[in-house]
Structure 1
Amino acid sequence: MVATPVAESATESAPDSIESLIRRRKPGYSLESAFYTSPDIFQADLDIIFRRHWIYVGVEPDVPEPGDCMVVDIDRASIIIARDDDMGLQAFHNVCRHRGARLVHDEKTTVGNIVCRYHQWTYGLDGSLLFAEHMGPGFDTGCHGLKKVHLRNVAGLIFICLAEDPPADIEDMARALEPYIAPHDIANTKVVQQIDLIEEGNWKLTMENNRECYHCSVNHPELTVPLFAYGFGYSPDEVDDVGREQIARYESLVCDLENRCEAQGMAAREVDHLDDCVTGYRAQRLPIDNHGESQTMNTQVACKKLLGTIADAKLGGLSVWTQPNSWHHFMSDHIVTFSVLPISPEKTLLRTKWLVHKDAVEGIDYDLRNLISVWVATNNQDGELVGYAQAGARSPAYEPGPYSVHTEMLVEKFTNWYIGRMAAHLNQR
């Protein structure tokens, strides 16, 4: 007779609390499957990570002129980012203070004032209520302006925070990153392409995939033309003579690039606070192979007009990472920025933008296909890999696997940051 494992089944089906999953997380290993599949953990991610931390959402040239507006959705929150009449940036909840109707319906638009289509309540670009008909003589417009959202412009990168009291260390990040980013002069660029890619995986898998290049040599033939795979780690015991020569060449190029940049007054050396700050970040200028100019298939500049104060095309690529949801590549001729926004436990939006000098003319100064080809291919390849990882996380056979200590250091830092921030907020309850 075969016994029915009633007690065992009940034990297996009992869900673990988020707190217990966090407590037993094993450093150096991937997260348990619930972190990638559980609706409860997904909701906790939205509440603790995306509603309480600084989230990268766009760039200054998304709203270049007074009256320009951009809408960003983070879960149920819809946020208007507007350029006001004094050229300042403002952020508001996209909700009318009358009966709650959505105000701006397009992702990007230009307005004189923000007018609700429902009852025509009218708001200035500073969020103040300017007009509300039929509300009576005692109605105080000053009490019914749009609800503001915290915004910080870091050298042209726009971050917002939905919390009432946002993390103050955004100022530390800004002071550290501005010397790296400022020479590229984001304010005087323009967005020439935006591609939104829906990846079939949890947002953390999208971020983990970005934070390593262990998979690059096999999966990214386009990206590894300009980038050095050895620049993202390697196992010294598994490198042959040819590999050692390549590593020595790469390390020499790093040294030369740092000296070249610093001679021109540009920050280049690695700064890393990915997992020891509330607002985590990292920056480093890395060499580009062959011609050494840009992340293109021929490694030469894709745009003839160089950015900002840059006069030397051979300045490699500045890589910037911020927790929890962005990475960026700055070259002498163009910029590529990436933001990650969760949609559901197993679906994520990856938004990529390409920027060039604001005066560059397509077909004369740059060819759009050449400009975007490396990262279009790479994003599509990565999206497929994230889907594979998500499918594996659903399996009952899944268990956390060990990170490579040589190539997945930044994945571990992302996971450490995530677990640390979740634990910090849960412990406050």
Structure 2
Amino acid sequence: MNQNDLLNMRYATIEDARTAMAKYLEERPANYSLEAPLYNDPMMFRVDMEEVFQKEWLFVGMTSEIPNRGDYFTVEIGQNPVLVVRDADGSVNAFHNTCRHRGSRVCLEHRGKVANLVCPYHQWTYDLKGNLLFAGTEMGESFDKSKHGLKKAFCKTAGGFIFVCLGKEEPQSDFDEFLATLEEYMAPYDVENTKLAVESNMYEKANWKLVIENNRECYHCAGSHPELLNTILEWDDTNDPRAPQDFLDHYHDLAAQWDAEGIPHEHKSFGPGKRNRIVRMPLKKGTKVMTIDGEAGCKKLLGRIQNPMLGSMRILHLPNSWNHMQSDHFIVFRVLPISATESMVTTKWFVHKDAVEGEDYDPARLRQVWDATNDQDRILGEENQRGIASVAYQPGPYSETFEFGVMNFLEWYSDTVQKNLKK
């Protein structure tokens, strides 16, 4: 099968799609975008779900969203409903949100609090560790409850972040090394003593990879993000070769302040394509946080932070999250695929748990910059998706100076999918 045959076919079976995807990724030029089917074909999307979103570590939320025993939230990962709950001993557990009786979802609300997990269909009841407590006498005396607990998903936490993996086996990688660094870098924020101030869910008619690609470069920022550019500097990190001397001087001045306060800031990256990356970046001189005017978004600083000029600690986790940690609030982003040409982008803003809405912070003010930026990115992603649908589309070249972050992402994506396809 030659390249033209691959491009012109629509894959009748998942095996056809897997074979074609392996060939695409093996032969792709590292500095070019992907072939169209990897962005818009339903069978290719199914391969993405099976080989990425059902096998890799995914960011789902923050521990401070479920501060107490029985607090839970739910999330949909493709066709897989997942439940994340705080246990009586303080542990965070993740389960497939499907009853072991006849498969109904157990928790129907996005958020809630329970003493036990009770399926609304037939009242099968599980404790917060997923053990089946009650199935009714109708199941008979020989029924073994111990064999019918909720099915667990792998779950790890670090620095207040919650990650889950739906795979049958835990991925073997340098993920634990990243988690240890994340714990260290997030310590000043004391996430357990924060609270969710506001969240948004944005439906985007674009493939999840286009959403991530758009995030991984600021080549488009000057023409698209006036609100964001009030405070943010376009350089990708402190090692960006494009950065001028005045930026480096600005960074070194602030780094001395951060060092004096014991605030970690050195660039750290892990895995192929810098899959997991942490770097503290200055904002524009004279600005404190990513609000419309660069002034404080909340009157209470987070954790042990004393200096409001912490810039933004950017945390990347592929395949589905980027985040901005600031002195008085932080913002986390989660991307989840819906279909080959649809994604959901969730944005959450967190403040000190003692901050009072309307007195210490205004949710509308917290949201203003990123609501605008998200919508601008949505339009860019959707127009990108429409253009890729054209018969005229062919992969185009990335700028190695401005779009190296996109190239890093596709390096990780290509390596990960090819590795998983061989298992």
TM-score normalised by the shorter chain: which range applies?
over 0.9
Determine if contact 1:198/1:348 at 8 Å carries over to the other structure: yes
Q: Work out which of the residue numbers 116, 121, 130 in structure 2 matches 1:118.
A: 121
The alpha-carbon deviation at position 99 of structure 1 amounts to: 1.6
Q: Work out which of the residue numbers 360, 367, 374 in structure 1 matches 2:362.
A: 367
The alpha-carbon deviation at position 113 of structure 1 amounts to: 0.8
The alpha-carbon deviation at position 231 of structure 1 amounts to: 5.0
Name the amino acid aligned to 2:61.
G
Q: Work out which of the residue numbers 257, 260, 265 in structure 1 matches 2:262.
A: 265
In the alignment, what sits opposite 2:108?
105
The alpha-carbon deviation at position 369 of structure 1 amounts to: 1.6
Q: Work out which of the residue numbers 88, 93, 111 in structure 2 matches 1:90.
A: 93
In the alignment, what sits opposite 1:192?
197
Distance 1:286 1:351 in 2: 23
Name the amino acid aligned to 2:258.
C
Is the partner of 1:41 in helix, strand or coil? Answer: helix
The alpha-carbon deviation at position 71 of structure 1 amounts to: 0.6
The alpha-carbon deviation at position 137 of structure 1 amounts to: 2.1
In the alignment, what sits opposite 2:13?
none
In the alignment, what sits opposite 1:254?
251
Is the partner of 1:23 in helix, strand or coil? Answer: helix
The alpha-carbon deviation at position 170 of structure 1 amounts to: 2.2
Deviation per residue, 1:80-130 (Å, 9 max, x gap): 101111121111111111121211111111111111112111111111111
Q: Work out which of the residue numbers 390, 402, 406 in structure 2 matches 1:395.
A: 390
Q: Work out which of the residue numbers 139, 142, 147 in structure 1 matches 2:146.
A: 142
1:16-35 aligned at under 5 Å gives the runs 17-35=20-38
In the alignment, what sits opposite 2:289?
294
Q: Work out which of the residue numbers 330, 347, 366 in structure 2 matches 1:335.
A: 330
The alpha-carbon deviation at position 179 of structure 1 amounts to: 1.7
The alpha-carbon deviation at position 230 of structure 1 amounts to: 4.1
Distance 2:214 2:108 in 1: 32
Question: Structure 1: 5+ residue runs without aligned partners?
Answer: 1-7, 237-245
Distance 2:154 2:300 in 1: 34
In the alignment, what sits opposite 1:214?
219
Question: Structure 2: 5+ residue runs without aligned partners?
Answer: 11-16
Q: Specify whether residues 107 and 415 from structure 1 end up closer, same or farther in structure 2 by C-alpha distance, changes over 3 A only.
A: same
Is the partner of 2:338 in helix, strand or coil? Answer: strand
Are residue 73 (structure 1) and residue 76 (structure 2) matched? yes
In the alignment, what sits opposite 2:164?
160
Distance 1:133 1:323 in 2: 43
Distance 1:323 1:11 in 2: 27
Is the partner of 1:149 in helix, strand or coil? Answer: strand
Distance 1:257 1:18 in 2: 46
Distance 1:397 1:344 in 2: 23
Distance 2:412 2:130 in 1: 34
- Bigger shift: residues 332-341 or 259-268: 259-268
Deviation per residue, 1:388-429 (Å, 9 max, x gap): 11011111111111111111111100000000011112233x
User: How much identity, in percent, do the aligned residues show?
Assistant: 39
- Bigger shift: residues 173-182 or 44-53: 173-182
The alpha-carbon deviation at position 9 of structure 1 amounts to: 9.3
Distance 2:342 2:40 in 1: 10
Distance 2:293 2:285 in 1: 8
Is the partner of 1:213 in helix, strand or coil? Answer: coil
Determine if contact 2:45/2:339 at 8 Å carries over to the other structure: yes
1:201-240 aligned at under 5 Å gives the runs 201-230=206-235
Name the amino acid aligned to 2:270.
H
Distance 1:20 1:287 in 2: 42
Distance 1:79 1:341 in 2: 13
- Bigger shift: residues 123-132 or 163-172: 163-172
In the alignment, what sits opposite 1:412?
407
Determine if contact 2:273/2:410 at 8 Å carries over to the other structure: no
Distance 1:406 1:276 in 2: 16
In our comparison, the structure showing a higher alpha carbon Rg is 1
Q: Specify whether residues 223 and 276 from structure 1 end up closer, same or farther in structure 2 by C-alpha distance, changes over 3 A only.
A: closer
Q: Work out which of the residue numbers 41, 44, 50 in structure 1 matches 2:44.
A: 41
The alpha-carbon deviation at position 136 of structure 1 amounts to: 2.0
Determine if contact 1:179/1:266 at 8 Å carries over to the other structure: no
Is the partner of 1:70 in helix, strand or coil? Answer: strand
Is the partner of 2:99 in helix, strand or coil? Answer: coil
Name the amino acid aligned to 1:418.
Y
With the length of structure 2 as denominator, give the TM-score of the two structures: 0.93
Name the amino acid aligned to 1:83.
R
The alpha-carbon deviation at position 259 of structure 1 amounts to: 2.2
In the alignment, what sits opposite 1:239?
none
